[in-house]
Amino acid sequence: MKMAARGGGGPAKMGEEKMLIRSEKVRLIDILSLLLLRRRPIASYHFVETGDHTADHVGSTPGEWLVALTEIIQKALAGAYYPAKYLGVAVEFFLNFVALNGGLLGIVWNIFRCKLVIPLNREAPNFRSMIAMIDGRTELKPLPAAAGAGVDDDVPLIRQQSLGSGGHLRLRDYSVLEVTVMAAKIAYENAAYIENVVNNVWKFNFVGFYSCWNKFIGSETTQAFVMADRAKDAAAIVVAFRGTEPFNMQDWSTDVNLSWLGMGDMGHVHAGFLKALGLQELDGKDAERAFPKDLPAGGGGAPAGKYFAYYKLRDVVREQLRKHPRASVVVTGHSLGGALAAAFPALLALHGEVDILGRLAAVHTYGQPRVGDATFAAFLRAAVPPAAAAVSSPLLRVVYRYDIVPRVPFDVPPVAEFKHGGACVYYDGWYSGRLLAAGEDVPNRNYFDPKYLLSMYGNAWGDLFKGMFLWLKEGHGYREGAVCIAFRAVGLVLPGLASHSLRDYVNAVRLGRIAPKEA
């Protein structure tokens, strides 16, 4: 992914550009070799598949220790797949069992009355995922009546407004940021839950929930929903992607994987995220073959009744824009969902979908992993309409503290040079944020820098205690339950994991303050 090899950011040279790491083929002896035989070229390993152009570029590059670390993590995630899956089912069943019966005393009382509720249907509108158990809030917080036009004042992020090509965008009484962070949060829930919240709590218009096919994994791995702020004459069509599910080790493995694919002018893009959206071929030479504008005959290999995320959502958005001629498009997601939210408009730009891109008003992501190289970041930035000020940029990432996910996949040049792009609000304190300068990365960019160890654990302890007592200052709406406090305690073992919680991202939007720029 080296820029010099790409003509200074211009179109890629002819030749196949890809680096695919087949983690299932990695052996212990390979990991030891990566760690100890540092002079062995990375392209010489049997589990690494490179294109001809890439092989010329990284052929003599030795294996980085971060590559070895990535494969150690991949092996651990693969081994934990089934235990984590069944643990997740058990934990969510137990938590819903307790919640739906009104607590432990309620269970006893319902047994006595023969009215015990057993949460066997995970698709019921009252069944909640682990994400909703950590943060059960569903109501949108209206904008303060005195919300002003300033974007650099020391005010909560909820009052920072997104500016698209059509100027000021506001969704009824709500900040666009408030809507996107809450949409990213409920995207983790089942279709019935989401529909109920959108229609009955927010009074928006639910369009549909979509579970989409991944031909390389052979299952529906990608979920998203679409809503409009009104059933008629909507101001915005919102696309929200589901992110990394806590007990889904396959999702975590995708976030960490270093494999990338050359996509022509779009740059080098994370292969796992492309697969999740509907990649057709692992072809690093012809972007049109890898991700064609229109699916080939037969539906691109998806089984009958199944569909690929990019193509399905593109069709849904087109139809909604025809139905609502004054509506803008807003895309959002948290974690893995944030990566898909960034890749989706980039693919629209690659395919020249000017009708949709011309009405794209905001791409807001929360705790988003890196998606591609510097060329991809520039390509995405060019696809999204500019704004008058960076903090009001339609292309905005929000990163809380030492959240582990925005620091993966690791940036390992020149083997895998993953970069973030666009405006970023980084919370380096307890809901105290700052706007990062162009090209500036978050501290501890690859997560394992030992000089940040004390700071990371200090943050974990501080967030735990502050979270327990935040409601005393901000009110009962910010009172954290036992599940949330327990999840914060996980950060004492693996700092940065608890910082990935959507509770902190919702709080950051509602309470977080952006330091004014220095003169």
Kindly state the tokens that stand for 431.
């809901």
Q: What does the alpha-carbon distance between residue 73 and residue 87 come to, in Å, rounded to a whole number?
A: 19
Residue 227: closest CA among 326, 126, 344, 313: 313
Residue 392 pLDDT greater than 70, yes or no:
no
The per-residue pLDDT of the chain, averaged, comes to: 89
pTM reported for the whole predicted model? 0.93
Least confident of 74-83, 224-233, 271-280, 421-430: 421-430
Q: What is the pLDDT of residue 204?
A: 98
Confidence band for 6, pLDDT divided at 50, 70 and 90: very low
Q: What is the mean pLDDT of the segment spanning 389-418? A: 88
Q: Which tops the pLDDT comparison, 269 or 150?
A: 269
Q: What is the mean pLDDT of the segment spanning 391-419? A: 90
CATH of domain 3-16+147-514: 3.40.50.1820
Q: What is the pLDDT of residue 172?
A: 85
| 210 phi, psi to nearest 5 deg | -130, 120
Residue 57: closest CA among 69, 41, 39: 41
Residue 38 pLDDT greater than 80, yes or no:
no
Confidence band for 327, pLDDT divided at 50, 70 and 90: very high
Q: Which tops the pLDDT comparison, 16 or 38?
A: 16
Give the burial class of 339: count Cβ atoms within 10 A of its Cβ; 0-12 exposed, 13-18 middle, 19 or more buried: buried
Q: What is the pLDDT of residue 339?
A: 98
Taking the alpha carbons of 115, 116, 117, 119 in that order, is the dihedral positive or negative?
A: negative
Q: What does the alpha-carbon distance between residue 300 and residue 290 come to, in Å, rounded to a whole number?
A: 11
Q: What percent of the chain lies above the pLDDT cut of 70?
A: 89
Catalytic positions are: 335, 403, 500
* Residue 272 near residue 254 (C-beta atoms within 8 A): yes
State the amino acid at position 242 in one-letter form: R
Residue 388 pLDDT greater than 70, yes or no:
no
Residue 151 pLDDT greater than 50, yes or no:
no
pLDDT in tens, 153-179: 455 666 655 444 334 567 888 989 999
Taking the alpha carbons of 274, 275, 276, 278 in that order, is the dihedral positive or negative?
A: positive
Q: What is the pLDDT of residue 155?
A: 53
pLDDT in tens, 242-290: 999 999 999 999 999 999 999 999 999 999 999 999 999 998 889 999 9
